[in-house]
Structure formats: C-alpha cells, structure tokens
Homo-oligomer: A and B are copies of this chain.
Amino acid sequence: MSLTVFPSKLLENAVNEFASLPGIGRKTALRLVMSLLRRDPGEVSKFGETIIRLRSEIQYCSVCHNISDEKICSICSDHTRDKKLLCVVENIQDVMAIENTRQYHGLYHVLGGVISPIDGIGPSELNIDSLEARAGTGSISEIIFALSTTMEGDTTNYYLYRRLNKYNIKLTVLARGVAVGNELEYTDELTLGRSIINRMPFNLPGT
C-alpha cells in the first residue's frame, strides 16, 4: 500500500507529520492518525498543545545542560545531593537512565554528544568549556566519565582527561564488565577479556 491517494488534505498532512518522526513508517502514521480521529476533539487539542508547549517552553539548565522547567534544574538545585561528585553523560536520556538506578546522588554534566569527526562534531560543539569551568571552581573532588563504550566515547574520554587532568580532581570511568544477568558464553570477547583483567575481590552478597 503506497498510500498515495488520500481522501483529505488534513489527513494527508497529519500522516506526513507523523511519518517524519524517526522509526515511524507511513502505514504506522496512518494508524496513529486514525486513532486520534476516534478521540474527543478536546483530547486531541491537548495532545497538539502539549507538543507545541514542549518545544517553545523547554529550557536547559544553565549549570549542567539537562532539560529543565526552570533556569536551574531540579537536580542542580537539590541541596541533598553530593555537590563534590560530577557525572559526565552524552545526553538527557543518560541522566534519566542513571537516575532510575537510584544508585547515584551527585550532579551531572550533559555534553550534548561525543566527539565524532565523521559526523563533524568536534570539542567546540559540545558543552566542554562549561565542564572545565565547573572543574576550575575547586569544589569538585571526582568526575565520572559515563560515556558510550564506543570509539567516539573513548576518544571523548581521552580528550576530557587531557583537559581536566591539570585540576586536582579524581577522574573515573564506569566499570566495564559482564552485564548483570548475562550468560558468560554470549558475552563478547573484548568485554570478557577486560573483565578478567579488571577482576574484583569477591564479596558475599549483602556484605
């Protein structure tokens, strides 16, 4: 079904908008649009207005560059968090993923990507100057690099290390190893090899 014949321009426009989203094909877009047509007009207006407000009113925290409804985000302004600890991530989804573990209570710094010469992303496209400015205040004792374990992530880690090494700050990286719940035989060789080299003392569970 090529969906070339639309009975209505309104319908065609709506299908085109949904089909412009990543991973949404034209048949799926039509299904989504038809589901909106079955709803109350008020409900659909709320949908549309939520999208418009999202883009027009969204702010980014002036300290950590996380998405925020205020000038300073709720994490940066939370007095119960450890302000000596900084975690560097690529994007906002990573902040949410780490927050959902409930294992981290420091602050964040969102880079907005990783260094990738192929995609034309150099250090100046990323929030690195503001990261160095935060490091220079002397109030931070540890910075955790929590970037993707890809070549681009490793390159960025190395670049950040060179920029931040001159400050008296402990620089760490997320532990790499066999994922929890993964079977050993399906773990890739590189990960398995590294996890043997970086083996840890055995602790009884719960200690």
Residues of B within 8 A of A50 (CB): 10, 13-14, 17, 48
Q: How far is the CB of A133 from chain B (nearest CB, A)?
A: 21
Distance, CA A36 to CA B55, complexed state (A): 7
Please state if A11 and B67 are interface contacts (CB–CB under 8 Å): yes
Distance, CA A31 to CA B13, complexed state (A): 22
The answer, among B6, B53, B69, for a CB contact under 8 Å with A96, is: B6
Distance, CA A7 to CA B95, complexed state (A): 9
A39 touches B (CB below 8 Å): yes
Across the interface, name the chain B residue whose C-beta is closest to A53.
Answer: B10
Please state if B37 and A54 are interface contacts (CB–CB under 8 Å): yes
Q: How far is the CB of A116 from chain B (nearest CB, A)?
A: 16
Q: Is the interface of A mostly helix, strand, loop or mixed?
A: helix
Residues of B within 8 A of A37 (CB): 54-55, 58, 67
Q: How far is the CB of A7 from chain B (nearest CB, A)?
A: 5
A121 touches B (CB below 8 Å): no
Residues of B within 8 A of A48 (CB): 47-52
From A21-29, A124-132, A166-174, A192-200, give the one contacting chain B.
Answer: A21-29
State the oligomeric state as a number of copies: 2
The answer, among B3, B4, B11, B22, for a CB contact under 8 Å with A32, is: B22
Across the interface, name the chain B residue whose C-beta is closest to A108.
Answer: B7
A103 touches B (CB below 8 Å): no
Residues of B within 8 A of A74 (CB): 7
Q: How far is the CB of A150 from chain B (nearest CB, A)?
A: 19
A148 touches B (CB below 8 Å): no
The answer, among B5, B23, B52, B58, for a CB contact under 8 Å with A31, is: B23
A144 touches B (CB below 8 Å): no
What are 22 of the A-B contact pairs (CB < 8 Å)?
A1-B97, A1-B100, A6-B96, A7-B68, A7-B95, A8-B58, A10-B69, A11-B54, A11-B67, A13-B53, A13-B54, A14-B51, A17-B51, A21-B32, A21-B35, A23-B31, A23-B32, A36-B55, A37-B58, A37-B67, A44-B51, A47-B52
